[in-house]
Amino acid sequence: MRRIVELGNAQLVECGAGGLSVREIARGLGMVSSAVYRYVRSRDELLTLLIVDAYGDLADAVDGALAEASDAPRERFTALAESMAQWAIAHPERWTLLYGTPVSGYDAPAESTNADGTRVMARMLAIAAAADADAAADAGASAGRGQGVHVTPDVRALLDAHLEEFGVESDAMAAMRAVTAWSSLVGIISAHVFRQLGADAAAIGEQILGSQTELLADLVIGR
């Protein structure tokens, strides 16, 4: 069973998500294809297995980086962003699995996925909340930074629900900044991993990522 996800990951790095073949895994295991179906219901389930494995691995990497960071929100954000980017660069196919196209025609199995998939998001919420608290303490008058952004009641309710779910105390505005920063971060890293900015940009990708991360930090933390 664990050998299956091992072989699956190995096959992922050399063929990509689309090239994942249960027959090939069976060959690696030295058995016939049908035998694999004892352990894994379908190719999609195998994919799901690899996805939760990757989510967990990524979240572990981020948590590791955050454990070594100070309490300063900006430093924590940078640690989160950089560890996420480094993980993506180290495992491009697994990143692809998580934040690329949902492969072929299989519906995201939210229930098995969300548990590990939201760990990083929760961290981001906490960081934005801390930054917000700091800003309010520094200058009581400047509270409400970014208030020009309109948030509908529905969205506010959803954000509050998630804040409670993750045990973070903050207001919806900070949460909005957090999820925007998170989506943006995913977009920026994907642009790098998928080489969407062109070949010459890929050569100095890390430097570009660095500047972009700073800009996003301004968005969540303020300046």
- List contacts with a second copy (CB under 8 A): 15-19, 96, 99-105, 108, 110, 114, 118, 146, 148-152, 154-155, 158, 161, 176-177, 179-180, 183-188, 190-191, 194-201, 204, 207-208, 210-212, 214-216, 218-219, 223
DSSP 142: G
Nearer to a second copy, 33 or 180 (CB): 180
> What gap in Å lies between CA 47 and CA 102, rounded to an integer?
10
The listed partner (a second copy, DNA, none) that binds 30, CB under 5 to 8 Å by sort, is DNA
Q: Binder to DNA among 6, 13, 34, 157 (CB under 7 A)?
A: 34
The listed partner (DNA, a second copy, none) that binds 82, CB under 5 to 8 Å by sort, is none
CA-nearest of 41, 38, 10 to 25 is 10
DSSP 105: T
Nearer to DNA, 19 or 144 (CB): 19
At residue 73's C-alpha, the angle toward residues 113 and 82, to 5°, is: 55
- Tell me the CB-side half-sphere exposure of residue 1, using CA atoms within 13 A: 7
CA-nearest of 174, 178, 184, 193 to 212 is 184
- Using DSSP, state whether 111 is helix, strand or coil: helix
Q: Could you tell me the two tokens for 118? A: 């939201």
Binding flag, residue 39, DNA (CB under 7 A): yes
Q: Binder to DNA among 10, 13, 35, 115 (CB under 7 A)?
A: 35
Nearer to a second copy, 1 or 109 (CB): 109
Q: Whole-number minimum distance, CB 107 to a second copy, in Å?
A: 10
